[in-house]
């Protein structure tokens, strides 16, 4: 094994320090020795995994994942170039083992009666799932898209795995312990898929619809899922709607001249004739044409997927199902991991909300998602709100039992002032929502419940400058 004591002069040399040394210095002897260990484990016949050896396979797999994770933090060109020399070897090694193990996993995990071994069985596949996706993050270069389809295959494997788990989650053949392990696996997959989508959105040019179905499906089966899965799913959807590359080819609403702007363009922005943006994703802007088909594909899929029917369903889920779910679900105590993940990887949520890694909750993620939907499909959301509020005014008796849903609706209305100040909503369109009528309606209800009073105060504070400055 690794003779690490010579570097520290101590017998107590932690595995984390070994990982740091390997990633920082890539000592040839230790690097070769570790590779031999990894190659031995990942060449192991998966049919022979049993209670005697599964812990060793898990430990080595976890070590490999830890090295990848540390490598992924180092974005210097020299470090990445060293890793690029071995990435093909690592990808082949992991994907071959993963495909064999995942095949056995999907066919046999419900037949395992030993609960301890079953949990270990799941632990290994979860490590492999996130290792597979982290390999993309560590080693993918946009210029390799044509030369190497292994990244696309990795993505397809992960999406298929997520689809399998979500579709089988409600099956009565699985015991409660198995369902808990399946939920843990779903959470991990969505978490790392969201990370890949954020960094390399063009990779989803062929699989965008499948990814969206994977994210929407948990929200349709929300009663059977836990808080962390819903939070990470909302976050993943936020990152999709917040990806400018997907929004560059949005269709414009030509039915109303005063509502023709259906893409988020600020007042001081210049809308370019070239609708193939996303140049920042390409190493060299001169190579943009090489990926014209992929960019058109992913933006078209985004545009086609979120048609009026899909948007209506998504808004109804977010303004009704999601608030009701979090009202009734007991809050988890062990949410620090997801809060830290979002805090470390996201640079946009906190811009518009009071943010702290210790106070991150579902409302912050949820409001960020709603805001990004509103930014992207502005005219549709304005029309939706107009119809929704008219229904509320005519059926005010329904509000008494749906405080949480009404509060979510008001928060959605309160996105409008921000979009107006950003130049995303033009002034004539503000009058689509009669804010004075809404304030008057809330005021009449404020005496009956403090939630309405809270909504009234927040709404006035959000709209005050708009009401003063706008001629409408």
Residue-wise pLDDT for 28-63, tens only, equals 455 677 777 788 888 888 888 888 999 989 988 998
Q: Looking at residue 288, what is its pLDDT? A: 61
Which one-letter DSSP state was computed for residue 249?
A: T
d(CA 225, CA 235): 15
Residue 458 in domain:
yes
**Span 119-138, average pLDDT:** 91
The dihedral built from the CA positions of residue 48, 50, 55 and 56, taken in this order, carries a sign that is negative
Neighbours of 85 (CB within 10 A): 9
Indicate the range of 41-45, 115-119, 356-360 predicted with least confidence. 356-360
**Which residue among 222, 242, 262 closes a domain?**
242
pLDDT band (50, 70, 90) for residue 245? confident
Indicate the range of 25-34, 263-272, 326-335, 397-406 predicted with least confidence. 263-272
Residue 407 in domain:
yes
Neighbours of 157 (CB within 10 A): 17
**Span 340-357, average pLDDT:** 48
Average model confidence (pLDDT) for the chain? 78
**Span 409-431, average pLDDT:** 88
Residue 253 in domain:
no
Does the pLDDT of residue 357 top 50, yes or no? no
- Assess contact for 7 and 13: CB atoms under 8 A: yes
Residue 427 in domain:
yes
Q: Looking at residue 364, what is its pLDDT? A: 84
Q: Looking at residue 255, what is its pLDDT? A: 44
Residue 338 in domain:
no
**Span 134-150, average pLDDT:** 77
Residue 121 in domain:
yes
Does the pLDDT of residue 413 top 90, yes or no? yes
Cβ neighbourhood burial of 11 (10 Å; 0-12, 13-18, 19+): exposed
pLDDT in tens, 1-25: 333 333 333 333 344 454 544 555 5
pLDDT in tens, 69-78: 887 776 667 7
Count of alpha carbons within 13 Å of 198, Cβ hemisphere only? 18
**Which residue among 221, 242, 263 closes a domain?**
242
pTM of the predicted structure, to 2 decimals: 0.82
d(CA 60, CA 56): 6
Higher pLDDT among residues 273 and 182, named by residue: 182
Domain count for the chain, please give it: 2
Token pair, residue 339, equals 């809060």
**Span 416-438, average pLDDT:** 87
In order of 12, 73, 204, 240, 450, the CA distances from 143 in angstroms are 43, 21, 15, 22, 56
Cβ neighbourhood burial of 100 (10 Å; 0-12, 13-18, 19+): middle
The dihedral built from the CA positions of residue 215, 220, 221 and 222, taken in this order, carries a sign that is positive
Does the pLDDT of residue 157 top 50, yes or no? yes
Quote the percentage of the chain above a pLDDT of 70. Answer: 74
The dihedral built from the CA positions of residue 127, 130, 132 and 134, taken in this order, carries a sign that is negative
pLDDT band (50, 70, 90) for residue 122? very high
Q: Looking at residue 341, what is its pLDDT? A: 61
Domain range for 82 is: 5-242
Residue 423, by phi and psi: left (phi above 0), alpha (psi -120 to 50) or beta? left
Higher pLDDT among residues 266 and 211, named by residue: 211
Does the pLDDT of residue 168 top 60, yes or no? yes
Higher pLDDT among residues 416 and 335, named by residue: 416
Q: Looking at residue 75, what is its pLDDT? A: 65
- Assess contact for 177 and 115: CB atoms under 8 A: yes
- Assess contact for 301 and 208: CB atoms under 8 A: yes
Residue with tokens 């799913």: 233
10 and 155 belong to one structural domain: yes
**Which residue among 224, 242, 260 closes a domain?**
242
Q: Looking at residue 276, what is its pLDDT? A: 38
Q: Looking at residue 126, what is its pLDDT? A: 94
Which one-letter DSSP state was computed for residue 110?
A: G
Neighbours of 67 (CB within 10 A): 22
pLDDT band (50, 70, 90) for residue 352? very low
d(CA 427, CA 449): 33
Residue 305 in domain:
no
Quote the percentage of the chain above a pLDDT of 90. Answer: 29
Residue 89 in domain:
yes
């Amino acid at each position: 094994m690794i003779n690490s004591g010579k570097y520290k002069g101590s017998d107590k040399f932690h595995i984390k320090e070994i990982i740091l040394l390997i990633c920082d210095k890539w000592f040839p002897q230790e690097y070769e020795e570790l590779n031999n260990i990894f190659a031995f484990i990942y060449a192991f016949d998966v049919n022979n995994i049993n209670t005697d050896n599964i812990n060793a396979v898990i430990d080595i797999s976890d070590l490999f994942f830890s090295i990848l994770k540390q490598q992924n933090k180092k974005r210097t060109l020299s470090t990445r170039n060293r890793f690029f020399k071995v990435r093909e070897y690592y990808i082949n090694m992991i994907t071959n083992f993963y495909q064999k193990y995942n095949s056995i996993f999907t066919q046999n995990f419900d037949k395992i009666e030993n609960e301890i071994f079953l949990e270990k069985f799941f632990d290994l596949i979860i490590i492999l799932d996130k290792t597979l996706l982290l390999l993309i993050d560590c080693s993918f270069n946009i210029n390799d898209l044509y030369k190497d389809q292994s990244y696309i295959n990795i993505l397809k494997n992960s999406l298929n795995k997520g689809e399998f788990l979500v579709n089988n989650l409600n099956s009565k053949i699985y015991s409660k312990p198995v369902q808990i392990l399946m939920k843990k696996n779903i959470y991990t997959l969505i978490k790392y898929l969201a990370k890949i989508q954020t960094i390399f959105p063009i990779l989803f040019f062929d699989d965008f619809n499948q990814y969206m179905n994977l994210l929407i499906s948990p929200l349709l089966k929300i009663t059977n899922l836990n808080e962390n899965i819903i939070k990470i799913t909302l976050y993943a959807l936020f990152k999709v709607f917040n990806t400018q590359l997907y929004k560059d080819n949005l269709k414009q609403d030509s039915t109303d001249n005063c509502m023709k702007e259906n893409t988020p363009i600020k007042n001081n922005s210049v809308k370019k004739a070239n609708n193939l943006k996303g140049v920042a994703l390409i190493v060299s802007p001169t190579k943009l044409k090489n990926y014209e088909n992929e960019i058109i594909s992913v933006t078209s899929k985004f545009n086609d997927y979120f048609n009026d029917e899909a948007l209506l369903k998504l808004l109804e889920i977010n303004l009704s199902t999601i608030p009701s779910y979090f009202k009734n679900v007991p809050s988890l105590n062990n949410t620090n991991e997801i809060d830290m993940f979002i805090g470390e990887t996201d640079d946009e949520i906190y811009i518009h909300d009071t943010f702290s890694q210790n106070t991150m909750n579902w409302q912050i993620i949820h409001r960020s998602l709603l805001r990004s939907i509103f930014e992207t499909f502005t005219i549709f959301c304005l029309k939706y709100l107009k119809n929704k509020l008219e229904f509320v005014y005519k059926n005010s008796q329904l509000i008494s039992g749906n405080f949480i849903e009404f509060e979510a609706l008001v928060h959605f209305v309160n996105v409008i002032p921000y979009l107006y100040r950003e130049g995303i909503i033009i002034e004539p369109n503000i009058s689509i929502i009669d804010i004075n009528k809404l304030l008057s309606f809330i005021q009449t209800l404020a005496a009956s419940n403090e939630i309405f009073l809270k909504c009234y105060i927040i709404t006035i504070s959000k709209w005050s400058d708009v009401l003063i400055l706008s001629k409408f």
